[in-house]
Amino acid sequence: MPKPPEIVDVNFVAPRHLAGGGDPSWVTVPLHRACGWSYGHDPLMPRVILSSPDQRALLRLEPDPDGQWWTLHHAHQPDRPAWYASFGARTPVEIIAAFTDTLTSPAADPADDWDPLEPLQKSGWSPAHSHNRLASADGTIRVEVNETTGCWWVGAALDRTGPPLWQARFGEHTPPHLITAFTSTDRPQPGAAYGHRHQPPHPGPGSHHRHAAGSPRRARRLRLEERVHALAARRASTPASPSPLRRSPAKNTRSR
């Protein structure tokens, strides 16, 4: 079998939500090596299952042609009922990582007065049909909060009228600071920097693709190692100051 090339192409894609799925190890490896999540081994099943050290959270990555590939279930806690989050196959791993990094951060502030819509409003997203729905300026991604159930839905598409490229869903009791971490990550993203990208078949009108010079495969491995070490070091670091994206409970958008 021929050896893989030592130099790989790097595609830069903006906006980030159209960058494609990427390498799942950007999420799974740090969870295991830096955060102590354990995994089972079943060589006959094409899936990954990771459990948090306290056994309250379970992350399942499983190819499903009819549903979400990533699913995280969290058991109930004294101050919060059980909750879940799920992500489609083409959800960029860096956006999923923002969610899991905040979940595992010892410095995270889990208070309920976070407003996940605020970073989108500050980025120029506009209301779509109601105050609990926002859409990006190019219309390729939108966020909706169900006023009855309190659940969140995020959908990305190649254009305003096209079918969903990927979806993310957050259950009613998902901690708002985790959803805020997810909605705060839409910035230009190097497409292949962290692994092979499953690129959208056709770039949307709001996307920008730039084919850059080759990058050593070893550099990609080093970036993952740096990420693992950085997350492992958080346990000994001083808790971070509260984010300026906080808002008062009276303005919480999770209406019923």
Mean pLDDT confidence for 144-156: 92
Task: Give the mean model confidence (pLDDT) for residues 121-148.
Answer: 84
For CA atoms 248, 150, 53, 33, the dihedral sign is negative
Least confident stretch, 26-35, 162-171, 212-221:
212-221
Q: Averaged over 118-147, what is the pLDDT?
A: 85
- Preceding omega of 15 cis (within 30 degrees of 0): yes
Structure tokens at 82: 């059980």
Q: For residue 248, what pLDDT is reported?
A: 40
Give ∠ CA 20-25-28 in degrees, rounded to 5.
115
CA 56/CA 36 separation, integer angstroms = 13
The owner of tokens 């985790």 is 178
pLDDT in tens, 22-79: 889 999 999 999 999 999 878 788 899 999 999 999 999 998 877 899 999 999 999 8
Burial class (CB in 10 A: 0-12, 13-18, 19+), 244: exposed
Q: What is the pLDDT of residue 253?
A: 47
Q: Is 106 exposed, middle or buried (0-12, 13-18, 19+ CB in 10 A)?
A: exposed
Greater confidence (191 vs 88) lies with 88
Give every CB contact of residue 167 below 8 A, 6+ residues apart in sequence.
68, 87, 88, 91, 153, 154, 155, 156
pLDDT of amino acid 193? 38
252 vs 130 pLDDT, higher one: 130
Phi, psi at 157, each rounded to 5° = -140, 165
pLDDT of residue 86: 97
